Amino acid sequence: MAAAPKIQLDVVTPQKLAYSDQVDLIEGPAVDGLIGILPKHAPLVTAMKIGVVRVVKDGEEIQIAISEGFMEVRPDQINLVVRTAELPEEIDIERAESARDRAEEKLQSSGENIDFARAEASYERAVARLKAAGHNDRSYTTTV
């Protein structure tokens, strides 16, 4: 039996090549909603939001936390170019929890000098990192 077709996924940040492998499918947070890509997908370019990218390879699943960026898809290649990307084993859970708690405090305060968009983005990054690291011990209010 012929091997199932795969698609090459490269996850790139300004600092590093975060992930590079032949995979079976990915699913991630595009600006218009969750998008799934299989091998031989039609070419497209989309902006990506902060969230978790689910990668399936040989029946195994890997979750990658990403912040905003772009994804370029060709039938045999996905280039995911994002500001930050971390694999579960790279995620510092305590750091993400502190970032989440700081952002939550800001979002709950009523100060005039609070940049809510910035606090919200920081909260979403922290929650995405905790989710990718499998640290789901709280119910989160956003859908990253």
Closer of 41 and 84 to ligand ATP (Cβ): 84
CB of 117 to ligand ATP, least distance (A): 14
Closer of 30 and 99 to ligand ATP (Cβ): 99
Q: Provide the mask over 88-107, with x wherever binding to ligand ATP is found by CB under 6 A and - wherever it is not.
A: --xxx--xx--x--------
Task: Tell me the three-class secondary structure of 14-65, residue by residue.
Answer: CCCEEEEEEECEEEEEECCEEEEECCCCCCEEEEECCEEEEEEECCEEEEEE
Positions touching ligand ATP (CB under 6 A) are: 15, 67, 84, 86, 90-92, 95-96, 99, 122, 125, 129
